[in-house]
Amino acid sequence: MSTPLPSQLPQIPKVLTFFKVSSYVTGIFLLLVMITWGIRRLPFLGFDLWMFGPNGFFSLERYGIEGEGLPDVGVNLTVWILIIHGWLYVIYLLADFRLWTIMRWPFMRFLFIAAGGVIPFLSFYTEARYHKLASEQLAELEKGA
């Protein structure tokens, strides 16, 4: 396995921090996506989360076929959570790519970490595992230098 270039060693702690933050934020939003999906799709529920709508500051609004019956005013939090998670996943992939390139890891590791943004709870596991692995590799490299 390849090791990071000596000139890149000072960058690794910042890359690890970026990866850690993006992993947690993306993982939390993925859990919110799963909750809102459940609220919307489970047969006995069928609601969207709504803010500033006609029924108050925060409410559950009945979700009909293709959005029929949803209020005309306010913010559909269900949709915004989906949009925000999508953009956070792009940032998560960037953090994954940066960590993968600087550590010079195998491509399958990049793919496994990338899956953390779409499989619930996996981002928390990949962050813990690969943050620790990268920190250990960095410590070994700094000890040998």
Global pTM value: 0.87
Edge-to-edge strand list for the sheet holding 75-76: 56-62, 47-53, 75-76
Q: Count of CB atoms within 10 A of residue 29's CB?
A: 21
What percentage of the chain exceeds 70 in pLDDT? 93
How does residue 47 score in pLDDT terms, banded at 50, 70 and 90? confident
* The pLDDT of residue 64: 67
What is the rounded average pLDDT for all residues in the chain? 88
Token pair 């799709």 is at which residue? Answer: 41
The pairing of strands 75-76 and 56-62 is unpaired
State the Cα–Cα distance between residues 33 and 56, nearest whole angstrom: 22
* The pLDDT of residue 29: 96
Give me the mean pLDDT over the 25-30 stretch: 96
